[in-house]
Chain A
Amino acid sequence: MTDKPLLEVRNLRVEFPTREATLVAVDDISFHINAGEVLGVVGESGAGKSMTGAAIIGLIEPPGHIAGGEIIFDGQRIDNLSNTEIRKIRGRHIGAIFQDPLTSLNPLHTVGRQIIDTIITHLPLSQKQARTRALELLKEVGIPSAEERIDHYPHQFSGGMRQRVVIALALCADPKLIIADEPTTALDVSIQAQIINLLKGLCSQYDTAIMLVTHDMGVIAETADRVAVMYAGRIGEIGPVADIIQQPKLPYTVGLMGSIPAIGEDVERLTQIDGSMPRLNALPSGCRFHPRCPSAFAYCAIERPELIEAGNSQVACWLYDKEKGQGKSPAHGLQKTHTKAVSKTTTQPANTLLQVEGLKQYFDVSPPLLTRLLERTGRKYVHAVDGLDFTINRGETFGLVGESGCGKSTVARAIVGLYKATDGTICFDYVDDGGLDDKQRMQMIFQDPHASLNPRWRVREIVAEAIPAGTGSTKQKITARVGELLAQVGLAAEDARKYPHEFSGGQRQRISIARALAGEPEFLVCDEPTSALDVSVQAQILNLMVDLQRRMGLTYLFISHDLAVVNHISTKVGVMYLGRLVEWADTDTLFSNPQHPYTRMLLDSIPDLTNIGAKRSQVGGEVPSPINPPSGCTFHPRCPFATDRCKSEIPIASSVSGSSVACHAIEEKRLPDWKTS
């Protein structure tokens, strides 16, 4: 019970001096990590998660610095070490893994050289021995034909493979602790599962502890032993993973857990924590969560709560204080609304709004003519969308899912007319393509609310511009309309005077929705509208979209790589793989009884929040390049049921138990039932 912790952080404080004031990014936090343990650190962006990790390995970017507290690693204080001394610990005893595998490796050196350099820095090995060790490591992290790949450059590896190399690099001196900062966020779900399994397996094999920083609760559920929840630079709750996920105590954690859409759960609205995390230069007094907390009471704004024991966990909340919280019940009003969503069962007769037939979109990515002549290669095309048929009925939400690069965004752009389709027809409301009126009745919302709003315009101008110049629109009328639109998306009329940078990510997405609604469209094409947002803010936007749909009878095409989000919001779902729809069906049908092997693979790779510690089923392989898609069924290199026929013949969609599926195995009735094996 009292084994000495491997890492102990006491009252750590990280400050950033700026011209106006000193910002406190991490404010007086204490925690420990035991040997071999996985500590998950969760929280919204800006909560101070990465900063805590950087402080431990002494890599805070100046002018930031540790302003107080101490960090003790393996019995030695390390926060005040000189640069040379801490370098002996970095990489040797504490390893690190960062978010983006694409940019974590030096592009000019072979991966072998990078591993060997690191090994030689820390271990007394010769060049040759180091190479042998590097080879072993590459094999261990699952790089096929490592002897050959060791001399390859990073750009020759795919994202998932690069993250494996990064793991090899972090592990190469056999450290006792690894700080993994969002190690899977930049990866597709199927790859995410592979990387998490690998990391967890290797660490338990070598008894390495991990501090796993992530905002993905699913990853935490399957990996972590204990979890720390951070909010605005403080730890709000810390405890065993099962307690945090199933019986969260802190009102913030309760809200956070409720705002995550989950598959197999049918709620109309997600739990919503209103507002967003405060900025560091405007921290509320007392408990920093109190302006957003539904359980807040007078004392919360007065004094800052410290961590106290509550059950198996520790919580920083006055509700659990014997004196102050007397008689208060924690966290009311943060439960999910468990009413069946009306929109999920279409009652009206089907009324087609959009019909897409044989849509193809190729991009010419050929090298210049001269190179083509010299290398004797022909033109090259990216088959971004390669023959797509689907219809969307009035009032429904069609969800489009698939891994990165499978052509989802391209479909969206082709539909709103940003691309001229290579082939196929797009009929909107029975009018064939491109009539001017359609433009207004169809609007698009983009993933990145930063990039899609002109930073030099006030919100008023941004929204007003999209209001159609109709008959007799006076200045007052426009102002009134802008106010009305802002109110619809939950913003105040005064916000019209502000510039986009004065808003948070979620508010900016609200502005883009207001802009899209300006022309009173019937149909909204939403390309990953919540992917750049934190879960609690994502919940707000999803709830807003559901409300708007109900009120205005909107039809959505909702694109996302997140199956749980699509499950939550859609009435129908299409699954895309390499430019083709492989399966589409009603949401309930698709998620309860998936047919296509790819759909099943995607569902399998989602971490299960209710099943803590369970491993996801391993899925092999990665998405091939759309320039040279595999022959026949493009999924065959990754498919466990592939036959020779699959390699040569493109499967045609047929109807199977309520779904339309394009797969030979299903047609030949040799696919086992879902979840029976």
Chain B
Amino acid sequence: MLSFVLSRILQSFIVMIGVSLVAFSLFTYVGDPISNLVGIQTSDAKREKLRESLGLNDPMPVQFLRFIERASQFEFGISYQQKRKVGDIIAERLPATLELSFVSAMLALLIGIPAGIYTALHRKSWFSHFMLSASLVGVSLPTFLIGIMLIFVFAVNFNILPSFGRGEVVKLGFWSTGFLTASGLKALIMPSITLALFQMTLIMRLVRSEMLEVLRADYIKFARARGLSDRMVNFSYALMNTLVPVITITGLQLGSIIAFAIITETVFQWPGLGLMFIQAINEVDIPVMSTYLLLIAMFFVIINLIVDLLYYFVDPRLRVKQGD
């Protein structure tokens, strides 16, 4: 048990160090950090002094260690363009993206999983057919197109939902939330649907096909032959077994919601990390870019870790060793 958790955490660390190395290389080797910090008139001597004081002349491993040390304290240097601490910029943008992703993830899970179960259990019903055809649209249409269509209908034509921004936000310490105001909630509707649609349909189809597979399994047949109620067979037996493989893929999908947010945030001008990243690319703001990468990687790693641990608790085959 402990060794499983430890080894997973250790693996996560190794991955994070690898990603840090990439972010660090980007930071150190793409462009000259000094010329981005000072004006053109600055003398070479002054530049050299600055270089020395920033530690840019130290050996690479020392610089890398320092990078990691500072990153762990949420210190990511100064944005070239905004001349502000990257940590502060991120802290400002993070709540917007996390709230949007959270709502989308909930939508995807709370609609995707029950829809998957329903379509698997009632294969012949018209609702299942409808959901399956509708899901094809969700999978095949590109996200930005869905976003633009929603804006066209609900913001331009009917003018009932805002087409951009987060609406009014309330500050709770460093966190700014849109959950507490009517306009904030309204602003969330279209972006979260846009972002959730793809994952929702994917999760639905995944749950459906996995459940159909499980329903054919021998232990389901045997459970029915013992006269267990449909409810017990479908939910306690079939659903549980469906969820085991679904957990992994769903976890990864949720991770990609945060990553996919870039497109949705651009379409809806949502002031989150994705929008920030796009701007940073346009302005070749290396510190912001590398920090974004680091952060996204961290989210993936954390989600992966949670998924692995969940898996471990759901599936006794991992938890309990074989033999007597």
**Alpha-carbon separation in the docked complex, A558 to B91 (Å):** 71
Contacts of B159 in A (CB 8 A): none
Tell me if A41 counts as interface (CB < 8 A to partner B). Answer: no
- The 8 Å CB contact of B222, one of A98, A107, A152, is A98
Q: Chain B at the A interface: mostly helix, strand, loop or mixed? A: helix
Binary per-residue interface labels of chain B (116-152) against chain A in the complex, 1 for a CB within 8 Å, 0 otherwise: 0000000000000000000000000000000000000
Tell me if B11 counts as interface (CB < 8 A to partner A). Answer: yes
Determine if B3 and A108 form an interchain contact, defined as CB atoms under 8 angstroms apart: no
Tell me if B322 counts as interface (CB < 8 A to partner A). Answer: yes
Determine if A91 and B6 form an interchain contact, defined as CB atoms under 8 angstroms apart: no
Interface residue total, chain A, C-beta cutoff 8 A: 40
Query: Which of A82-90, A343-351, A357-365 lies at the interface?
Result: A82-90
**Which partner residue on chain A sits nearest B317 by CB separation?**
A155
Determine if A89 and B317 form an interchain contact, defined as CB atoms under 8 angstroms apart: no
**Which partner residue on chain B sits nearest A377 by CB separation?**
B3
Tell me if A510 counts as interface (CB < 8 A to partner B). Answer: no
Binary per-residue interface labels of chain B (303-324) against chain A in the complex, 1 for a CB within 8 Å, 0 otherwise: 0000000000011110011111
Binary per-residue interface labels of chain B (181-223) against chain A in the complex, 1 for a CB within 8 Å, 0 otherwise: 0000000000000000000000000000000000001110111
- Of B11, B221, B244, most A-chain CB atoms within 10 Å: B221
Determine if B217 and A103 form an interchain contact, defined as CB atoms under 8 angstroms apart: yes
Tell me if A625 counts as interface (CB < 8 A to partner B). Answer: yes
**Alpha-carbon separation in the docked complex, A89 to B232 (Å):** 17
Tell me if A391 counts as interface (CB < 8 A to partner B). Answer: no
A108-B244, A108-B314, A108-B316 are known contacts. Are A87 and B227 too (CB-CB below 8 A)? yes
Determine if B7 and A96 form an interchain contact, defined as CB atoms under 8 angstroms apart: no
**Which partner residue on chain B sits nearest A87 by CB separation?**
B227
Tell me if A307 counts as interface (CB < 8 A to partner B). Answer: no
- Of A90, A107, A108, A166, most B-chain CB atoms within 10 Å: A108
Query: Which of A250-258, A368-376, A654-662 lies at the interface?
Result: A368-376
Contacts of B10 in A (CB 8 A): 370
**Which partner residue on chain B sits nearest A374 by CB separation?**
B3
A153-B316, A370-B7, A370-B11 are known contacts. Are A91 and B227 too (CB-CB below 8 A)? yes
Range of interface residues on chain B? Answer: 20 to 34
Tell me if A15 counts as interface (CB < 8 A to partner B). Answer: no
Determine if A121 and B314 form an interchain contact, defined as CB atoms under 8 angstroms apart: no
Determine if A98 and B218 form an interchain contact, defined as CB atoms under 8 angstroms apart: yes
A59-B225, A117-B228 are known contacts. Are A106 and B237 too (CB-CB below 8 A)? yes
Contacts of B314 in A (CB 8 A): 108
Determine if B227 and A121 form an interchain contact, defined as CB atoms under 8 angstroms apart: yes
Determine if B227 and A90 form an interchain contact, defined as CB atoms under 8 angstroms apart: yes
**Which residues of A49-88 are within 8 A (CB) of B?**
57, 59, 83, 87-88
Binary per-residue interface labels of chain A (88-105) against chain B in the complex, 1 for a CB within 8 Å, 0 otherwise: 111110011010100111
**Which residues of B163-188 are within 8 A (CB) of A?**
none
**Alpha-carbon separation in the docked complex, A89 to B228 (Å):** 11
Contacts of A83 in B (CB 8 A): 230
**Which residues of A534-581 are within 8 A (CB) of B?**
none
**Which partner residue on chain A sits nearest B238 by CB separation?**
A106
**Alpha-carbon separation in the docked complex, A96 to B232 (Å):** 18
- The 8 Å CB contact of A104, one of B3, B7, B218, B236, is B218
Tell me if A458 counts as interface (CB < 8 A to partner B). Answer: no
- The 8 Å CB contact of A91, one of B225, B237, B241, is B225
**Alpha-carbon separation in the docked complex, A105 to B226 (Å):** 12
Q: A95-B225, A107-B219, A153-B320 are in contact. List 11 more A-B contacts (CB 8 A).
A: A59-B225, A87-B228, A91-B226, A96-B226, A98-B221, A105-B219, A108-B244, A156-B323, A169-B226, A172-B226, A375-B3
Residues of chain A at the chain B interface (Cβ within 8 Å) = 57, 59, 83, 87-92, 95-96, 98, 100, 103-110, 117-118, 121-122, 149, 152-153, 155-156, 166, 169-170, 172-173, 370-371, 374-375, 625
- Nearest 4 pairs of A and B residues by beta carbon: A91-B227, A96-B225, A91-B226, A90-B227
